[in-house]
Amino acid sequence: MISNAPLVEFLTALADDELLIGHRDAEWTGYAPILEEDIAFSNIAQDEIGHGLVWYSLLEPMTGKTPDQMGFERPSADFRCCRFVTYPRGDFAYTVMRQYLYDEAEQVRLESLVACPSTPVRDAAAKILQEEAYHLLHSKGLVLRLGSATEESHGRMAKALADAFPQALGMFEPLNSEGQLIEAGIFPGNASLRVRWMDRILPVLRQATIPVESLGSHDATMKPDLGGRRGDHLPHLAQALSDLQSVYQSEKGASW
């Protein structure tokens, strides 16, 4: 039987990824380039934060911390999200590219959890997968269209991929307890998820006519943006958290 610590680490990383990407998506509310995308990103933001809540709730019996405490009371160094999801929202091309790369990774990660020996984890993954399928449809649809729509959109999407790719590799940064998690059958490990992810994104990016040659094969030579999984974050996370936590921190324990 696996001790709780590796599972806590694993679920915290999962939940923190969802909370932060949701927060960054929510930053488009009122600002997206088109009304429908404003609503779509706000909707996706709520879904992602909702998924974070699912994982934080599963953690509560193991850590004794409520989802609110996990989201609003921890300092940035305690977060285990990858750096990728903490970057500022950038332009809309970057947002779309990040969301697409994230959605594909999320899909691969959740699919791998459907065989997890922990029933609550398995059930949560199956439930979340249903909503993620829609996110993927949306972000993939935009990548395919913007990749080849106009010279400007093509150029912006190509730049977005070049910027986002090394960051995105950070989604697959190994966890401390990677070995124990694989041994316990919780998930197949980040190296294997990364291979599956590459197999999915490359054909889509090619179809979108976005250049992928510089990404290398399965072993990209570029330096992945790592650190998030061990709490070594960029200042972006603290900045995001100061926004995200400000209301809660201004009146701790208030009931809403």
Partner 1 sequence: MTDTQWETWEVFHQTKRGDPHEHVGAVHAPDAEMALQMARDQFARRLKCASLWVVRSRDITMTDYQDATFFARTTDKSYRDPKAFDAPEKLHP
134 belongs to the binding site for partner 1 (CB under 8 A) = yes
Within 8 A by CB and 6+ apart from 64, the residues are: none
Candidate ranges 10-18, 59-67, 130-138, 188-196; the one touching partner 1 (CB under 8 A): 130-138
Among 34, 130, 223, 252, binds partner 1 (CB under 8 A): 34
Closest approach, Cβ 106 to partner 1, in A, equals 18
Taking Cα atoms as reference points, which of 51, 24, 158 lies closest to residue 109? 51
Nearer to partner 1, 46 or 176 (CB): 46
CB of 42 to partner 1, least distance (A): 9
Tell me how far CA of residue 14 lies from CA of 6, 8, 34, 125, 148, in angstroms.
12, 10, 30, 11, 33
Name the one range near partner 1 by CB under 8 A: 33-41, 106-114, 218-226, 233-241. 33-41
Contacts of 249 (CB under 8 A, 6+ apart): 72
3-state secondary structure of 234: coil
* Minimum gap (Å) between residue 138 Cβ and partner 1: 6
Q: CB of residue 201 vs partner 1: minimum separation in angstroms?
A: 20
Stretch that binds partner 1, among 32-40, 101-109, 201-209, 231-239 (CB under 8 A): 32-40
> Residue 68 has which token pair?
């609110």
The one segment of 22-30, 90-98, 132-140, 195-203 that binds partner 1 by CB under 8 A: 132-140
Q: Are 208 and 157 in contact (CB under 8 A)?
A: yes
What is the per-residue DSSP string for 179-212?
HHHHHTTS---HHHHHHHHHHHHHHHHHHTT---
| Number of amino acids touching partner 1 (CB under 8 A) | 12
Instruction: Identify which of residues 83 and 138 has a Cβ nearer to partner 1 in the complex.
Output: 138
- Choosing from 115, 137, 191, 247, the residue that interacts with partner 1 (CB under 8 A) is 137
Produce one character per residue of 30-54: b if its CB has 16 or more CB atoms within 10 Å, e if not.
Answer: eebeeeebeebbbebbebbbebbbb
CA dist 211 and 78 (Å) reads 37
Q: Which is nearer to partner 1, 147 or 224 (CB)?
A: 147
39 binds partner 1 (CB under 8 A): yes
Q: Based on the shown chain and the rule CB under 8 A, indicate whether residue 151 belongs to the binding site for partner 1.
A: no
- CA 156/CA 24 separation, integer angstroms: 19
| Residue placing its CB nearer to partner 1 in the complex, 1 or 34 | 34
State the residues that interact with partner 1 by CB under 8 A.
34-36, 39-40, 43, 134, 137-138, 141, 145, 149
